[in-house]
Structure 1
Amino acid sequence: MDAKKTPLYDEHLRLGGKIVDYAGWALPVQYEGQGLVVEHEAVRNTAGLFDVSHMGEIKVTGKESTKFLDFLLTNDISKMVDAQIIYTFMAYETGGVVDDLLVYKFGDEDYLLVVNAANVCKDFDWILKQKGKFDVAIDNISDEIGEVALQGPLAQKILQKLTNYDLNDVKFFHLANDVDINGVKCLISRTGYTGEDGFEIYTDNQGIVKVWKDIMESGKEEGIKPTGLGCRDTLRFEAALPLYGHEISQDINPLEGDFKFFVKLKKGSNFIGKEALNKYYNDGMKRKLVGFELTERGIPREGYEVYKDGERIGHVTTGYLSPTLKKNIGNALIDIRYAKLGEQIDIKIRNKYVKAKIIDRKFLKK
């Protein structure tokens, strides 16, 4: 396998990780003797630890950082306060999505963008291309940073054992910098991609190995498990969180993906894609992302076609037998005329029409 290795690659092998190529990275999809469902349930009930060192980190600094990011991104950066994090999209002029990302604010002239692993080079090139005359510096520091995500109801209890910093002070979608985690200086945040409480912990490549080992040791009593890509996808899906290339993409804009909250069409500044998204919104949307549940036997998968009265009306973007709900559920991008709760639709599974009904996409009630 020619894929890039994270600093934790040897740890994954030691723990029996089943390694796959994901976005050019050698990462564990699950661990031997555990399986996806066991790992999924650990995050829902106790805690799981993910290696997310493959994620990209791009620094934006300089006098016009806020102004530049407000031009680059769909959310309102000008309203952010120091130590806050927001979720946003970076859009093309067409309104399609370059990437979805998190913005960390350290100060008016100091931001960190956390982007998807598969899109790091594309994103960095796009951001450089948009820089123009803005007084900013843009640095791709992805190769210097290791990151783990500790997720689950016992995450705070486990991490608190390793630091004197009061983790109650880190509110949801906020960060704390230079936190000492058992002797390693870290940036920590509280965002998560699972629908559970938890922390993202960033440090250098050497330090992240110690942090991983210390967290695994600290969480033994609580039943912590190392967790792979497989359950990362089922967890985010149950929590109605999008995956780039599935619920949003160059061809699926954020309004179609039902993420209008993160697109501030009325913010003061112009942003790339604003005109196209405004037009799409005002002219009447054609497609919408919905949740569905199969009412007959079958498992929906990405790409399966969706039908209504024999007419093709869309496709499945993600589908699973939900480990938490024990139901066959999915997301589908369909003709907006049929995007109503309770609407009956058909999913074509192996040349057979399987009945389904549209349900609330927030599958996980917390």
Structure 2
Amino acid sequence: MKNIALHQVHEKLGAKMVPFAGYNMPVSYEGVTAEHLTVRESVGVFDVSHMGEFLVAGENALALIQKVTSNDASKLEIGDAQYSCFPNEDNGIVDDLICYRIQEHQYLLVVNASNIEKDWNWISKYNENFNADLEDVSDEYSLLAIQGPMAVEAMQSLSPLNLAEISFYKFKVGEFAGVENVIISATGYTGSGGFEIYCKNSEAEQIWNKVFDAGAAYDIKPIGLAARDTLRLEMGYCLYGNDIDDTTSPIEAGLSWITKFTKDFINADYLAKQKEQKPERKLVAFELDERGIPRQDYDIVDENGNIIGNVTSGTMSPCLQKGIGMGYVPLSFIKPGTKIYIQVRKKAIPASIVKLPFYKG
């Protein structure tokens, strides 16, 4: 197990540390519900330094990215970020990622911690045809997600940049918490606004301490990965390994909006055909009509008890106070309002298909 740069800081704060994607990570501090509501109502800080970072540079950097990702990176200006995925050759997804355009011929790809080696091998294989400059800097960087509606106000004193001017999926590089050349990115996976801060490992503790000093008046708190999961699920954001994986296509997963057929990319022909003809199943969102908590891998059944799918993500929503989840079902069950049933132990609990996000703010 690897330790992130702030491992000892989290231990001193009393975090419950668990193995996750090869790293010891803080899963909770005071409890999932309290931490979840902190992010929804004020501001909290996640240490997500386990995420992977690849630098792609050179004159063929864009051509390589265009080949291996589903979204159209040619639309990116310097200072733009873009959600995307790596399609595989077998109608699934290698990983989802965020692509940042740092300079004219330099991009940063941020990938999931559990897929760093797999993603590196995948992009390296295709780079044989492009010869872009690739560098895996995952072990050199820390990543803090400062999330919540009070994030801009709480953090403004730490930077000469106007944080309010950094709109969603934009970023700036500048001074933050006394450190130069920090990436301040208006991204995050909570749906409550805020920033992600990329810095060198050696700078992480200084930034962490100053963030908490600046946020003290806003009752800022450290937040663990468990609350990050409930926050992203309330928004209906996919989690790799749950809702998307090597066997799920971006079309099935409702990710057509990041799958652009204006360019050539891996498996584009199949995905275009699948979109046109419609897939056999799609990822849907549901809310339980009665009390209960849907969990990953629980069966989804019809009114006659026939298995029609399975839950990919599920939880008790801290904001809605009801069981929510996602899962793949046949197209005849995807219309909002359709009744399905979640097999929770021996009881089939009725549920309704709903539109995302669950949490409307």
The aligned counterpart of 1:300 is: 294
Tell me, yes or no, if structure 1 residue 95 matches structure 2 residue 91: yes
> Aligned partners of 2:48, 2:129: CA distance in 1, in Å?
34
8 Å contact from structure 1 (residues 44, 153) kept in 2: yes
> Aligned partners of 1:363, 1:14: CA distance in 2, in Å?
35
> Aligned partners of 1:123, 1:20: CA distance in 2, in Å?
23
**Once structures 1 and 2 are overlaid, which stretch shifts more, 276-285 or 193-202?**
276-285
The aligned counterpart of 2:160 is: 164
8 Å contact from structure 1 (residues 146, 203) kept in 2: yes
Tell me, yes or no, if structure 1 residue 195 matches structure 2 residue 191: yes
Moved segments of 4+, more than 6 Å: none
The aligned counterpart of 1:10 is: 8
- Secondary structure at the counterpart of residue 231 of structure 2: helix
C-alpha displacement of 1:178: 3.0
C-alpha displacement of 1:164: 1.5
Matches within 5 A, 1:16-95: 16-31=14-29, 34-95=30-91
Letter in 2 for 1:145: Y
> Aligned partners of 1:111, 1:297: CA distance in 2, in Å?
46
Tell me, yes or no, if structure 1 residue 356 matches structure 2 residue 354: no
C-alpha displacement of 1:137: 0.7
Identity across matched positions, percent? 39
Matches within 5 A, 1:175-214: 175-214=171-210
Letter in 2 for 1:179: E
The aligned counterpart of 2:114 is: 118
Distance 1:211 1:184, change over 3 A: farther
Q: Deviations over 1:328-350 (max 9, x none)?
A: 11111111111111111111111
The aligned counterpart of 1:146 is: 142
Q: Deviations over 1:207-250 (max 9, x none)?
A: 01110111011111101010001100000000111100111111
Provide structure 1 residue ranges, at least 5 long, that are not aligned to the other structure: none
Provide structure 2 residue ranges, at least 5 long, that are not aligned to the other structure: none
The aligned counterpart of 1:243 is: 239
C-alpha displacement of 1:253: 1.1
> Aligned partners of 1:237, 1:180: CA distance in 2, in Å?
30
8 Å contact from structure 1 (residues 63, 135) kept in 2: no
TM-score normalised by length of structure 2: 0.97
Count of aligned residue pairs for this structure pair: 360
Q: Deviations over 1:11-35 (max 9, x none)?
A: 101100000001111011101xx21
The aligned counterpart of 1:313 is: 308
8 Å contact from structure 2 (residues 177, 206) kept in 1: no
> Aligned partners of 1:60, 1:165: CA distance in 2, in Å?
26
Tell me, yes or no, if structure 1 residue 330 matches structure 2 residue 330: no
Letter in 2 for 1:347: I
The aligned counterpart of 2:276 is: 282
Letter in 2 for 1:358: I
- Secondary structure at the counterpart of residue 264 of structure 1: coil
The aligned counterpart of 2:170 is: 174
C-alpha displacement of 1:184: 4.6
C-alpha displacement of 1:132: 2.2
> Aligned partners of 2:359, 2:104: CA distance in 1, in Å?
36
> Aligned partners of 2:32, 2:81: CA distance in 1, in Å?
30
**Once structures 1 and 2 are overlaid, which stretch shifts more, 168-177 or 236-245?**
168-177
> Aligned partners of 1:216, 1:91: CA distance in 2, in Å?
39
8 Å contact from structure 2 (residues 291, 322) kept in 1: no
**Once structures 1 and 2 are overlaid, which stretch shifts more, 139-148 or 350-359?**
350-359
RMSD: 1.1
Letter in 2 for 1:280: Q
Letter in 2 for 1:281: K
- Secondary structure at the counterpart of residue 221 of structure 1: helix
> Aligned partners of 2:129, 2:257: CA distance in 1, in Å?
30
C-alpha displacement of 1:8: 0.6
8 Å contact from structure 1 (residues 65, 108) kept in 2: no
